[in-house]
Structures are given as C-alpha cells and as structure tokens.
Structure 1
Amino acid sequence: MRRWLALLVAATTSLVLVALLVPTGLLVRALAQSGAVNQATAEAQSVAASVGTADRAALALAAERTSASSGHAVTVFLPDGSLVGSPAPRSPAVELAARGRSLVAQTPSGLEVLVSVQGLPGGTAVVRAYLAEADLRRGVPEVWLGMLVLGLALIGLGILVADRLALALTRPMTGLARVSHRLAAGDLAARTTPGGPPEVRDVGLALDHLAGRISDLLAEERETAADISHRLRTPLTGLRLEAESLADPEEAARLGARVDALERAVSSVILDVRRRSHEQAACDAVAVVGDRVAFWSVLAEDQERPVTLELPPGPLTVAAGAAELSACVDALLGNVFAHTPDGAGFSVRLTPGPEGARLEVADTGPGFGAAALGRGRSGAGSTGLGLDIARRTAEASGGSMTVGDGPDGGAVVVLVLGRRSSPS
C-alpha cells in the first residue's frame, strides 16, 4: 500500500508540475527573447542618435563600442550604400527599413533589429543590431534547469509526505494482520494496540472483542468437555469392579488392562480440554509408535495377523504430544482390526524426513471405500472419526495426511508429522 500510494502521489504531482512548469518555461523563453529585442532596440537607437551629428569616424567608434559592450553586432547602413561597424549583408529587411520603417526581421540564424534614421542629407540611414539564437535564449537553460530541480524536489517531497501518511495507515493495519495470524495459530491472548485512523482503531477493537468472545466460548467448551469426561469415571469404576470380580484371573487381568487404558485415555482428554496454554508439545515418535504397535501386536497374534514394524535407530522428535500421537496410532491400528478380516496383516513404517517424520500404516485388507474418508460417515457401522483424529494430529504438528490404496489393494495411510521448531 505504501508503494502504491507513493506512485499515485508521484504521478499526480508530476502531472500538476508539467501543467505548471511547461507554460512557465515557455513564458520564460518569450520574456528572454523580448528582453533581448528591447535591449538591442535601445542600443540601435543610441547609435542612431549620433548618425546625423557625428562624422564617419565617430560613428564607427560608437558602433564598435556598442557592439563590444552588449555583445551584439551593430552595423550602420549609410544612405550612400556604405556601412559602418560590423560587416553585414544588405538584406531585404534593410531595404525595407531604408524606406523609413523600423522593424524586427527574422533571419535563419537570429533576429535583425532595424532602426530607420530619416532626415539625412543623402537619404535614410539604417542602424542594424543583430541578435543570434544564443542572445535570444540567454539565461533560459539555467532557469529551465532550476525549474526542473525544483519540480524533482517537489515530487520527492510529495513522495516523502505520502510515505509518512501511508506508514501511519499501514503500521496499525500490519499490527492487525499480525494479531489475526496469532489468533489463527491458537494464541488467544493476542490483542491489538489501538492506533491509526478512527476506522482502523474500530477494526482493532472489534478484533479484540472477537478474540475475547472466542476465548470465552472455548473456555465453556473445555469445561463442558471436562465435565463429560469426569462423568465417564463412574461407569469406568463400575467396570473395573466387574473385572476384578471375574473368576478367571487371566481374563480379569486382561479386562483390567483394557479398563486402565480407557481410564488413561479419559484422563488425557480431561487434561487436554483443561489446558489453557498452547505450547508446542513434542515426543519421541520412535518410542510412542513402538509402544503402541507392541500393544496391538498381542491382539494381532490372537487373530493370526502378520505384523511388520520398521523404526529408525535413534530417537525422532516430532511436534505432537505423546498422548496425541498414541491416540493417532491407536485410531489407525484400530481401523485395521475393525475393517479387515482376521488374518489380514499390516505394516507400520516410521522414517525420518526433512520436514519431521513420515508414518505409514498399510494393511492387506479390502482397502478404503468411498464412505470411509469423511468425518462422521462410514459404511461399516463406525463413527468415522478415526481418520479425522489422525488428520488433526498431523495438521496440528504442521504436517498432513494422505490416504489411498496400496499396490496389493490394501489401505495405506501416510502421516507427515512436523518437526518441533527450535525456541527463539
């Protein structure tokens, strides 16, 4: 905006200056020419005054002195056809002036100022003062140059003033954009600093009001979700008591482990919805993925499912919390067990990349159906939220998710998990 406003002011100022300075420049040239003609006329008249009173030698001396002092060639054409002063041809304009008419005549190289002197014994004499083109434009280039410098200075001053005005507009607008980006990134504590024109201040106050309203709504949502999560503890407690009352110790331990996992998930939900800050979480993806695959491998062994796990040798930190990444892996592997027949194998590959990490979960089942890719829709009787959980986890870390079918017809889900940014 600053650049466009500066260009607009420069164009407008240039047009105004052209409309003003061009006629002024032409007027300066006309005044210079008129002044030169008046000066030459006065010189010729001063010489003409001595034509009838001075002898030939004095007349020649007067013409030479006038030429030397003014820089104009002065010639006196006497009635007998001779001339005194600077040599010059007897032009048709001189012949016309010899008939008793003073005039100014244009020549190819300048102007002739002719003064007719009548009443002489031998006839009419003519005094000629010659003005070259340089004499007619003397001082004009300097004036034009000064006008050009003045015009450029005025354009520069206009651009400077326009830039200061534009800065007064763009600075608060840039602040508004920065605050809006922070709000979009999850920093709900971002607020604007009032400044700029009244309209911009009104927009800033409206943005602050919107941010406050969003914070209030999210706080209410967190409290509601936390309350619902707390209510889940009562049936969990009853389920734990039922599991402990089973006669088969192995079955009781197995069911108790499932209850513990569910309780951890509920606790994670409670902590997540009550979280007031949005600090970037991080975890070791190798450890989390390996732990969750080991958990699901027990069920895979019961259903005779081949499991392939590929992990990098060292730790791989990604911008996702351990609980979020665990829930993501559980959702993807849970889909494999829910939507593929017993005996269908799956593979989990975690590889490092320049953007962070790449997690690929593939199976040998029937692949994705058209209804399996939308949130809340599924053709297999599920809620359809598993893939959405994985997608949100990837996008929250700064990555992405892609789904498709593998070369053997099975489903393939690829998550790109962003790397945790270094603290500034």
Structure 2
Amino acid sequence: MRRRLINSTLAVVLIVIAVFGISLVIVETRTITAGAQDRVESEALRLVSIVDSRLIGDEKITAGILSDQVPADRYALIEIEGRAPIEVGERPVGDVIQSTATGEQGERVTVQESRSSVTQEVGRTLLIIAGVALLAIVAAVLLAVRQANRLTSPLTDLAETAERLGSGDPRPRSRRYGVQELDRVADVLDRSAERIARMLTAERRLAADASHQLRTPLTALSMRLEEIALTEDLHTVKEEATIALAQVERLTDVVQRLLTNARDPRTGSAVSFDLDEVIKQQVEEWRPAYRSAGRAIVSSGKRHLQAVGTPGAVAQVLAALIENSLMHGGGTVALRTRVTGNQTVIEVTDEGQGVPPELGARIFERTISGRNSTGIGLAVARDLAEADGGRLEMLQAKPPVFGLFLSRTAPKAAVGHEAARPTVR
C-alpha cells in the first residue's frame, strides 16, 4: 500500500507537470519570439526617425555616426536614394529576425537580429521551468512518502493491536493518528479490548471463585460419604445421607450463585429467612472438620432472628469466615448473633493471633493473604454479602472479629416484583 500511494501521487504530479509544463513552454517560446520581433521593429522605427531628422537638417549620415545607435548584437542597413547603402554592425548568419521601416524622405532602414539569441533565451526559460518541475517532483515524492507513512504506519499498528487481541492480550493502546477514519477504527479496537478484558477477567474470576467456593462443599460431602462408607448402622446411614443430600443442594446453590454473579454481581434474590437454620447448618457441617483439628465451633447470641438476604449466599459467607478461622485462626470458633438498629449482625471470631497489621483493611482485596492461600475467600464473601444489600466488615483485628450485617426488613417493592437495592457502602 505504501508503494501504491507513492506511485499514484507521483503519477498525478508528473501528469500535472507535463500538461502545464508543455503549455508553459509553448507560451513562453511565443512570448520570447514576439518580444524579440517587437524589439527589432522598435529599433527600426527609432533608426528611421534619426535618419529622417538628419536628412531634414542636411546633416552627415555615416556608419560611424549611427554605430552608437545600434546595439552590438544587431545589424542595421540604411538605404537612402541616390546614396550608397550604409551598414552598421555585423550581418548575422543563419536564421534572423528582421524588420524594415520607411522614412518620410523615402529612406529604408532594415534591422536584423540573429534568432540564436531568442533560442538561448528560450533555452534559459526551459531550464528554469525544468528546475521548478524537478523541485515539484522532489517535493511530491517527499510529501507522498510522508503521507504514505502517515497512513500505513497506523494501519500496521492497528493490525498489531488486532493480532494482540486475537492472541489474548486485551490491553488497549489508546493511540490516535489524526486521521478520522483510522481514529474511529482505533476507538472500536480499544472498546473491543476493554470488553474482552472484562470478559477474560470475569471468566478468570469465575474459575477462581468456583475453585474456592466448591472446594468446601465437596470436602464436606466427601466426609459425609466416608462416614456412610465406614458405618453399618442403618440409622446413621440415613442421617448422614440426609445431611449429604442437603449438602448437594447447597452445592447446587453455590454453582447457581456463582453463575448469577458472573453475569451480574449485583443481581440478588433477597428474601426474609430464619437465621438460626443457616447458622445451625454451618455449625453441623463444619464440626467434623474442627473436631479433626482438635478444635471446637459453637454458636451463641440472640435466637429466632429474621434477616433479609439469600440463604445460600449467607451460608457461603459464613462458610468462608469459618474456613478462614480453621486455616488461619486458633482455639474455639464462635458464631454470635446480635441486633443493632435495623440490622442483624453475625459475628465470627476465634482465639488466634488475628489479622497481621500490614494487611489491615486490605484483607478483603483479592490475592491478599497473610499465608499461603488464594486470597479469594474473603473477597468473594464480601461480594456475596453486598449482592443482597448487606455488608461484611472486619470489626477487630486481634482477636479477629468479622461481622456480617444483614437488614431485618425487606426493601420496598420496586417496579414489578423486583426489590429496590439498598445502598451498600
């Protein structure tokens, strides 16, 4: 494309130079020739007037007297009746330009000039025109190269950007080139890069969240199945199977919740539910794991509290906090419920060393972890809490106390069956 632009621009310039150059040469040649003829005619008229005046005054007329009146590059022939012709200057050879004038006394003056002088002047004019044409060609080539670079370099850059997008590198370049059409393509590619980046981030986040959130239910389910496999008591088998089915339902809810959050992290399905059931289910589910670790998990506080939220999401938030205490905390883990204003609060605390000072409020950021863990659990838990209008906060660093705040009253109905979303800080 670069070569085509240069060649096309150069071709246009050459055509323009050829058309106007040839026309200019013809016009200048005719102008120079006509000017030379006018000069010769003017010279002849001037000489004949001089001869007339001298004849009227009966003055002497010789070649020496008239030599000062005739330029060196011209030849003059004065013919007076009854006298010998008078020649001034050297008669030119070859093609000449001449003019003859007749005076009042019957004398004739003929002035001649060699056409070679006209040819030389035309040649000088042609050289000037050729020089200007050459400069125009050089300027056209430079302009064509510059314009070609201005157009082809952005196209090459845009092609590289598109190739990067195809290879999985969605970083937008935000480069603009001063050409409206190319800038529009760059805008489209940048917007596409941003969309691809968001999609890739969502996919990676979904994969990480799924890996983290599914690990706990699957571990609990496998423990129940192991209990079933090791016991021969039919009553125990039925009890453990019932718990395993409940955990399968929870696993299904986790998967559904992850998919819903992947599409829209603010899409909640908040309802009013009994908080005791969720806490009881979590304590029973995690008790075997804590027993294996030589620790205990207990619940306390006010009973029969109602909270607004998604039971499955609240269970996942509590599971993340309980698992975090199991991995990083120590001693007994306690789940305490209390009421503050129009909110129900579930506090999860343990007797461990607490959150390191260098982490502080960053404990809820993704990839932030005090030990060798994914750093995802608390971030996912906060997202789940906020999706239904609640919030998750670290109330105390040492000993660690995390509080899940849930509304006690359902939000006012909005259009249709959807509820208005509370403001989440």
User: Which structure is larger by alpha-carbon Rg, 1 or 2?
Assistant: 2
**TM-score, length basis structure 2:** 0.42
**TM-score, length basis structure 1:** 0.42
